[in-house]
Amino acid sequence: MGFGQFLAAPEIKLKVVTYRDVFQNTAQESSRFGEDYETLSAVIRLDLKDISKLSIKEGETVILRNGSGKVVVQAQKSGYEQAHPGIAYMVNSPWSNVLVPEDTGGTGVPKFKDFEVTVQSARGASVTGIKEIF
């Protein structure tokens, strides 16, 4: 038994901004329950500093959770030239919708574009399947 087995994986809080993606929309039109749609949708795009803080590599899975729900998605580098630590990006999808807070602040409109999550490595775990969400 090594000492490392008693240490929890690092976790960080991030603000998630959602966006639309033409490739993901095309995959959805083809098959909402298809592999292409899941591959393009069950993803969070992170700043390199946040990937480093989480002690993960690109392509590994992470657990996203907040008061609204929990999903396992794949972590990818955001690809933006300008650093944006603390801010992550997700495509509008069932995976991001699980995390949208119910509280609308009296407006009646959920905060689809801007919400907080806690992120932690899910090394070895499978991405949450779309059938698990519905």
The number of C-alpha atoms within 13 Å of 49 and in the hemisphere containing its C-beta is 11
Look up the pTM and report it.
0.87
Tell me the longest C-alpha to C-alpha distance in the chain.
53
Q: What is the pLDDT of residues 88-104, one digit of tens each?
A: 999 999 999 999 998 88
| Domain boundaries defined on the chain | 11-129
Asked if 100 and 111 count as a contact pair (C-beta separation under 8 A), the reply is yes
The number of C-alpha atoms within 13 Å of 127 and in the hemisphere containing its C-beta is 20
The pair of structure tokens assigned to 6 is 């008693």
Residue 9 confidence class, pLDDT cut points 50, 70, 90: confident
> Which fold, 11-129?
Barwin-like endoglucanases (2.40.40)
